[in-house]
């Protein structure tokens, strides 16, 4: 349903053009039907002309209703729809089944992935808005891990957390949520199926217009269970 709604909002100009064509055809058909009615002499001719008139009225009514619906959806409803509506435009579905493992092409990069120093720090985090407080930068994690932090921005839409081998820029989505979190549990991350090594964990928060803010990135080291 979200994909259908997003289509009508994104292609609103095209929809209006199609409706305008339908309106012109309906008006033309109405004129022809009235001409038939004026020229009708026999009862059967009048009946056929009346059917044509009713059909033209129906077409104009449907076009009018669709135009009103498109206007209301684009102008009033779309800006207030929840984040689930905007997720339809994201190339990677953040509310899909948790990834858990990296794609095969990324697994091949693990052996060459650089580590990090003991003084590794989080980057891009905004206190009180976009934060990962657990795990901490450079922390060793294993098995199922609870992620804690904050995802709370003006016009909040949704957040997702992702991971990538250290030094790489290809991210795999773990999970997402459309609820504001303030210094609480963001979700869980099962690392048991991931090859041990150095990784980056990031929190991405998106507003209700689909604009993603800079991510909070935390370096971690996954150890074997």
Nearest to 162 by CA among 176, 143, 141: 176
Confidence of residue 206 (pLDDT cuts 50, 70, 90): very high
Percent of the chain at pLDDT > 90 equals 43
The tokens of 89 are what?
A: 């435009």
- Give the CATH superfamily of 94-222: Immunoglobulins (2.60.40.10)
| DSSP conformational letter for 168 | -
Mean pLDDT, range 178-196, rounded to an integer: 93
Preceding omega of 80 cis (within 30 degrees of 0): no
- For 79-90, the pLDDT digits (tens) are 555 444 444 444
């Amino acid at each position: 349903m979200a994909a259908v709604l997003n289509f009508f909002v994104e292609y609103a100009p095209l929809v209006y053009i199609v409706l305008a064509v339908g309106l012109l055809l309906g008006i033309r058909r109405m004129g022809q039907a009235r001409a038939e009615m004026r020229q009708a002499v026999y009862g059967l001719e009048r009946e056929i002309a009346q059917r044509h008139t009713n059909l033209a009225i129906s077409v104009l009514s449907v076009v009018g209703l669709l135009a009103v619906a498109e206007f209301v959806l684009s102008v009033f409803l779309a800006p207030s729809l929840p984040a689930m509506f905007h997720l339809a435009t994201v190339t990677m579905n953040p509310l899909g089944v948790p990834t858990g493992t990296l794609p095969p092409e990324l697994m091949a990069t693990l052996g060459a992935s650089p580590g990090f120093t003991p003084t590794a720090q989080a980057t891009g985090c905004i206190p009180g808005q976009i934060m990962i407080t657990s795990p901490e930068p450079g922390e060793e994690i294993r098995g199922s891990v609870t992620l804690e932090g904050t995802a709370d921005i003006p016009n909040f839409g949704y957040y997702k957390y992702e991971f990538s081998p250290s030094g790489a820029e290809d991210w795999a989505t773990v999970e997402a949520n459309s609820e504001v979190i303030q210094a609480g549990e963001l979700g869980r991350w099962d690392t048991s199926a991931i090859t041990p090594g150095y990784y980056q964990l990031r929190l991405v928060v998106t507003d209700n217009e689909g604009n993603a803010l800079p991510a909070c990135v935390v370096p971690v080291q996954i150890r074997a269970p």
